[in-house]
Structure 1
Amino acid sequence: MQIWIHDNQMRKIIALNNDIPDMLHYTNSTWHPYLEQATSTFDFAIPKFSNGKLHEDIKLINDECFVSFYANGSHQVFYIATLQEDDFNIQLTCNNTNLEYALEYANPFSAGGAQTIEWYLNHMDLLSFAAVELGYNEISDRKRTLTFDSQETKMARLQSLMSNFDAEFEFKTELNRDGTYKRIVINVYQKADETHHGIGKIRNDVILYYDNDLKGVQVNSDKTQMFNAGVFTGKDGLSLNDVEISEKNADGIEEFYSRKGNPCLYAPLAMNRYRATMRAEGQDNWIRKDFSTEYENINDLKAYALRTLKQYAYPLITYTASVQSKFIGNYSDLALGDTVKIIDNNFAGGLALEARVSEMIISFDNPNNNSIVFTNYRKIDNKPTSALQSRIDRAVEDRLPYTIELTTTGGVTFKNNEGESLVQPRLYNGGKPFTTDVSWRWALDGVVTVGMQYLVKAKDIDDTAVLTVSGYVGNTEVATTEITLANLVEQIELKVMTSNGNTFKNGVIASTLTATLWRGNKEIDKDGTEFSYIWTKTNDDETPDEHWNADHSYSQKSIRITQEDVFRRATFSCEIEYIGKQV
């Protein structure tokens, strides 16, 4: 992973890469993205010493800088919240730039009528702040009449707004090639429920098994919040009094109902299993709870009532799954919001769950510290029919991720513009080589080429460059990866050699001065064709010899000095300039 340091204008100034020896490295990295808050934090340290001496780039790092890297299909951009420096390390604690919402305040606000979420975002200055644009909006037609009575941070206001619209959101940051901001997009999704997934994907290809990717599962049953009847009211007295609801379970037995003329929604099966009292049949065994909401639409109120009663009609079963640290590495494309399957046969009858990724803790330099937090656990049938199993197997096969592995013949680090390396890709599908109808596209510094392999030449790389490799099956891009290339160019040293020394007697002077160029203890441009060599003379009174300099204004790698060129003492200097192909 390559991490960029930006200046306060968001221009890239330093790259951190643990795979390139002479670049600044990083340690103790922890990236922690959160689904519910739509933000992330990033902490890491930068060792100040490289090869036994202070690295020259550390002078550019200060608390005005920004930090970025590319992960999960988006640029992750952070501002430095705290910077701590000692003799050996710079420790940075960084917050995602969208956390600047937590630094600005939103005033009390009342809509005065039902409005869309886009209207609220604009009228409460939640988009114009920080130049955020609204992108995908899954609930564009939904309207709410909302009032916010108190002042609160814009982040709190944004989260409250999403909650009132039964929505969840994410930020996507786009940067220009020089690292400056292009735009920030906020995408809005229907909150995950029985018919909507929300952010992320259903990952049928990701199954965690005990003692493999899964450390274990803990199950808790809690009846303290349970009820089996509810009265739900909306704005201006809206109720379920005129609504007929009847939902049956898989066995055809009515599990939830409401009858016209009665505003209450009931869960009869739950009542029979978990009675309120020890009274006989026919006595009141309902556990009732009332709810007041701001819903104006009867369908929204009905959906909320069913969703709430289904959640609390039975004991609240919570699951906590712990994963092996290697799990994230095995599924590097796993993202916030993705739903995975968990299988643990250490429970009677076996335990099969679906769970959603709500937090990820990722270390780029120490994968042993990786972990995941799951939410939205749901118990599923652990014994599918043979027909269903066949469909699952086909779905898993169709969803197996494509990955790319790269090999090189000459590595990725070059020195002094010398050398080349052939980059050869291999495409895998679910860990197996895939070769049918595969083609490759390569992008280096904006130049896109097509070919089965790519020849990297050191002379084409200025300092560092990122080579992006995209694998195609037919005309469909199925995988992308990148490698960082480095060309470490040492400084050129100019040495003037004399054929007969530089001190003479009795007016007899004869010596040839030759300008030689050295890079890394190796002489370059021996024939004088790649650089120009312009000699100048300074007299013993420190004034330039204009006449001599005019006569020698053309390039010469060597000049002959005689007594005609020197009276008592003179200083001869040579300036070089690159004119030919790169060395």
Structure 2
Amino acid sequence: MTPRIAILNCRDTPLGFLDNSQPGAMHYYDDCLHRYLSGNAYTFTFKVLSSQDPKELLQVGNKLSFRHPELGSFYLNITTVERDRTETEVTAMGLTFELLNEEIAATKLDTAKTFMGYLDYWGFEREKLKVGLNEVSDKSIKNEWTGNETVLKRLFSLATVFDAELEFVPYLNENFSLNTLVMNVYRSDHGMGHDKRDITLRYSDGIEGITKTSDISELITAIRPTGKDGMTLAGYTRAKESDGCYLSNSDIRSPSARDRFPSQVADKDDNYIVGMWSCDVDSKEMLYGRALAELRKRSVPKLTYDIDGYIDVAIGDRVTIEDDQFIPKLYVQCRVVEQEVSFTDPTKNKTTFDNFTEVSSQLSSSIISQMNALIEKYKQYQCGIASSSGTSFKNGQGETTLTAIVRDGAADVTDKFEIRWFKNGTRVGTGKSLTVSSADFGQTAAYRFEAWKDGQLHGQYELTTVNVVDGADGISNYLHMRYSDDGGRTFTSNNGKNPGKWIGQYHDSSPVDSPDPADYTWAKIAGEDGADGMTQKLVSLTNECYLSTSDTERTGGSWDSGCPDYEQGKYLWVRIKAVYETPDAIAYSAPELDKAWLNAGKAITAAETATQSAADASQAAQDAVSQAQSAKATAYAVQTELAPIKTGVQEAKDAAAEAKDE
């Protein structure tokens, strides 16, 4: 619906109309009525063809007024006109010039006055501006204004002093001139508008999306306020602990905020982030109250929500909005603070919401306490395990101390919980630390701790310890292990030493670990997330071998946990089998040819060739033995215990001895 808009001169006499429904009348387009919660203020912008306004009725100082069946009546002053040969763009502001531009002098009274008492003192004209509803008529307050302000700013300031909201409602005569401008005064605990929170708005109602933003850019955990003439809270004795905040010398502190966001450069017992703040009061009691309110506001993340879409609600209305794109669903109770309405193009309509914290102000302190207690009871914390000597042992030697870590944000809160330790699901101890020896388990063991408090589990963490064995026959054989989260394409942090979902291994004669993930054979040791969101736990790792007639595919054999003796013309494939606690949850590493087996075959072939020539037999035998030993020392294997290849090596030695005797 495009309303008919009257144009009036500076003395409120009608001059003409903007009317899109009448052919030949002045038509408007690109229009936007922008309404604000503060005072129910509004602006109106639009364009017309300059040729349709030959008498230039649209000029600064003239007025506009119109009625809308849903939005009410509007009365505006034309403040800006931009005109060229083609178009004329107009901006008009709501209310009267007296409110917008006239000023009131500084005010300091010795006695308290009511809201109406201040209006009488300032000599407000009551012929056009009348006070309608006044919900703060029972209050008398003493206040001071130190500078000049426009009438409108002074009225808003007065409303703040009385903890109130103002609403200006124009009433028009039949010819669209202003009859009366009524100012309603509401208590701010409900304000103007209607409470529609029992109605839940969803995407189908015009909501297109909700974006939640958390901001701690202005965070403080303690405040050091000053009042008039440098007054501080030093020596103030009537302050009481409130919501966990307390007064310390001249500072008000919030321990809960400090624990959540501790300073990283201060002393251990004084990790507060202190903000300096001042206000114009001469009473320590008022200074404490206002500073405490400022600390509460800035000691928690500031939450804002941007909501796209237009909703047919009024300024000041409170509504509930549901966004099922969040998991779980997000329900937001908020208030309409701005509206942009286009009469000629409704697709440009937009509604802005704010006051998202109003929900908490509607709850009693007892309900808030119960809610906070429930949150604390079931809160989950970040957990981890620190190891004094790593988590892998060699040849059954060594021990390590596992230490539980429980964090609330950046704060270490481990000491607040009962720590219970488990090995492969069986409880083995309590306390912050647990000492583990390589003799305590076989090939692998899963150690887990749980953090308990008041009979409730608040977090847990698990890691796997591994026992590895050097190669046989007295040949130095180093096992290298690293972790990955992407199947071995890259290492985890700390160059692969921090635990991950995959474990990679290889053997050789060098104590130096390879920096190339491709040198490792990878096996998955952490399962995928299940329906309950928990990660599956590793039960065992087993080496499996396949004796094949081909070096390009596995054929003619089967997978077995035992490693067979060397057979000429055969090829050995190897892999790792990982078993998890969920039934039938098994993962395998990618099968690979065993390089040690291949090298042993080459050594035997060389030894057999040596027997064909007595002249070269001795050297060939030595080469064969050397190659066999080298092959074994550089064996590339995925199993934690390298399979013996004694048969192939011994045959090479026997062949060399026979050739030498001949």
TM-score normalized by the length of structure 2: 0.46
Check if 1:175 corresponds to 2:172: yes
Q: Answer with 8-17 or 167-176: which moved more.
A: 8-17
Tell me if the contact between 2:114 and 2:138 (Cα under 8 Å) persists in the aligned partners: yes
Is 2:173 the counterpart of 1:154? no
* 1:233-272 correspondence runs (5 A): 241-244=237-240, 246-247=242-243, 256-258=244-246, 266-272=253-259
Match of 2:323 among 344, 349, 358: 344
Q: Which residue pairs with 1:317 in the alignment? A: 303
Distance, in Å, in 1 between the alignment partners of 2:116 and 2:322 is 41
The corresponding residue for 2:382 is: none
Equivalent in 135, 145, 168 of residue 132 of structure 2: 135
CA contact (8 A) 2:227 2:280 kept: yes
1:173 partner amino acid: P
> Once the 2 structures are TM-superposed, how far is the Cα of residue 197 of structure 1 from its aligned partner?
2.3
In 2, distance between residues paired with 1:272 and 1:3?
59
In structure 2, what residue type is equivalent to 1:121?
Answer: L
In the alignment, the residues of structure 2 paired with residue 298 and residue 174 of structure 1 have an alpha-carbon distance, to the nearest angstrom, of 46
**Contact 1:109–1:124 under 8 Å retained in 2:** no
- Report the equivalent of 1:36: 38
Q: In the aligned structure 2, how far is the partner of 1:310 from the partner of 1:135?
A: 35
Distance 1:346 1:280, change over 3 A: farther
Match of 1:45 in 2: 47
Matched, 1:285 2:271: yes
Query: What 5-or-longer segments of structure 2 have no aligned partner?
Result: 361-662
Offset of residue 215 of structure 1 = 2.7
Q: In the alignment, which residue of structure 2 is the partner of 1:69?
A: 66
1:355: which partner in 2? Answer: 334
In 1: Cα distance, 2:111 partner to 2:278 partner: 19
Paired residue type of 2:337: S
Q: Deviations over 1:269-311 (max 9, x none)?
A: 3332222347787x12344446555679999778755543332
Instruction: Select which of 206, 210, 216 maps to 1:213.
Output: 206
2:295 counterpart letter in structure 1: L
Partner of 2:103: 105
- Contact 2:172-2:179 at 8 Å conserved across structures: yes
Return closer, same or farther for 1:379/1:187 CA change in 2, 3 Å cut-off.
Answer: closer
Q: CA deviation at 1:31?
A: 0.8
Describe the SS at the equivalent of 2:169.
strand
Q: Pick closer, same or farther for the CA change 1:61–1:276 going to 2, 3 Å.
A: closer
Larger Cα-atom Rg: 2
Match of 1:366 in 2: 345
Rounded to whole Å, the distance in 2 between the matches of 1:302 and 1:131 is 42
| 2:176 counterpart letter in structure 1 | G
Whether contact under 8 Å (1:174, 1:181) holds in the other structure is yes
Alignment-derived partner of residue 222 in structure 1: 215
Deviation of the 1:63 alpha carbon: 4.5
Counterpart CA distance in 1 for 2:80 and 2:41 is: 18
Measured after TM superposition, the shift of residue 170 of structure 1 is: 1.9
Question: Equivalent residue of 1:121, what SS?
Answer: helix
AA matched with 2:190 = H
Instruction: Classify 1:307/1:207 alpha carbon distance in 2 versus 1 (closer, same or farther; 3 Å).
Output: farther
- Does the CA contact (< 8 Å) of 2:333 and 2:358 recur in 1? yes
Report sequence identity in percent.
Answer: 27
Contact 1:221/1:317 (<8 A) preserved:
yes
In the TM superposition, what is the alpha-carbon distance from 1:379 to its structure 2 partner?
9.1
Structure with a larger share of its residues in strand = 1
Distance 1:136 1:305, change over 3 A: farther
Instruction: State the Cα deviation string for residues 497-550 of structure 1 (Å, max 9, x = none).
Output: xxxxxxxxxxxxxxxxxxxxxxxxxxxxxxxxxxxxxxxxxxxxxxxxxxxxxx
**In the alignment, is the contact (CA less than 8 A) between 1:2 and 1:69 conserved in 2?**
yes
- Check conservation: 2:194, 2:318, Cα contact below 8 A: yes
Task: Give the TM-score taking structure 1 as reference length.
Answer: 0.52
Confirm or deny that 1:4 pairs with 2:6.
Answer: yes
User: Partner residue of 2:354?
Assistant: 375
Q: Which deviations, in whole Å up to 9, do the C-alpha atoms of 1:408-457 show, x marking residues without a partner? A: xxxxxxxxxxxxxxxxxxxxxxxxxxxxxxxxxxxxxxxxxxxxxxxxxx
Distance 1:102 1:64 in 2: 13
The corresponding residue for 1:558 is none
* 1:275 lines up with 2:273 in the alignment: no
Does the 8 Å contact 2:197/2:333 carry over to 1?
no
Q: Distance in 2 between matches of 1:97 and 1:273?
A: 47
Alpha-carbon shift at residue 366 of structure 1 (Å): 0.8
Richer in helix (by share): 2
* Structure 1 unaligned regions, length at least 5: 248-255, 382-583
Q: What's the CA shift string for 1:360-390, capped at 9, x where partnerless?
A: 1111111111112222124979xxxxxxxxx
State the SS of the aligned residue for 1:198: coil
How far 1:338 sits from its partner (Å)?
A: 1.6
CA contact (8 A) 1:17 1:25 kept: yes
Residues 9-67 of structure 1, C-alpha deviations (whole Å, 9 max, x = no match)? 32445343323445443222111112236421111233467xxxx69x96765555321
What is the distance in 1 between the residues matched to 2:222 and 2:212?
A: 26
Is the CA contact (8 Å cut-off) linking 1:144 and 1:296 kept in structure 2?
Answer: no
Are 1:116 and 2:102 an aligned pair?
Answer: no
User: What amino acid is aligned across from residue 12 of structure 2 in structure 1?
Assistant: M
Contact 2:246-2:254 at 8 Å conserved across structures: no
Q: Specify which structure has the bigger relative contact order, considering alpha-carbon pairs within 8 angstroms and separated by 6 or more residues.
A: 1
Q: Secondary structure at the match of 2:158?
A: helix
C-alpha distance in structure 2 between counterparts of 1:11 and 1:286, whole Å: 64
Structure 1 residues 231 and 60: alpha-carbon distance in aligned structure 2, compared to 1, 3 A threshold: closer
Distance 1:380 1:345, change over 3 A: farther
Amino acid at match of 1:197: H
Per-residue deviation, 1:68: 0.8
- Give me the whole-angstrom Cα distance separating, in 1, the residues matched to 2:100 and 2:353: 25
Contact kept, 8 Å, 2:210 with 2:305, in 1: the verdict is yes
Aligned equivalents of 1:379, 1:197: Cα separation in 2? 10
Among residues 202, 214, 222, which one is paired with 2:195 in the alignment? 202
Aligned length: 354
| Aligned-residue offset at 1:189 | 2.6
Matched residues in 1 for 2:295 and 2:104: separation?
A: 34
Distance in structure 2 (CA, Å) of the matches to 1:90 and 1:280: 65
1:165 aligns with 162
The answer for the alignment partner of 1:187 in structure 2 is 184
CA RMSD, aligned part only?
3.8
Q: Helix, strand or coil for the counterpart of 2:355?
A: strand
Question: 1:299–1:357: structure 2 CA closer, same or farther, 3 Å change rule?
Answer: farther
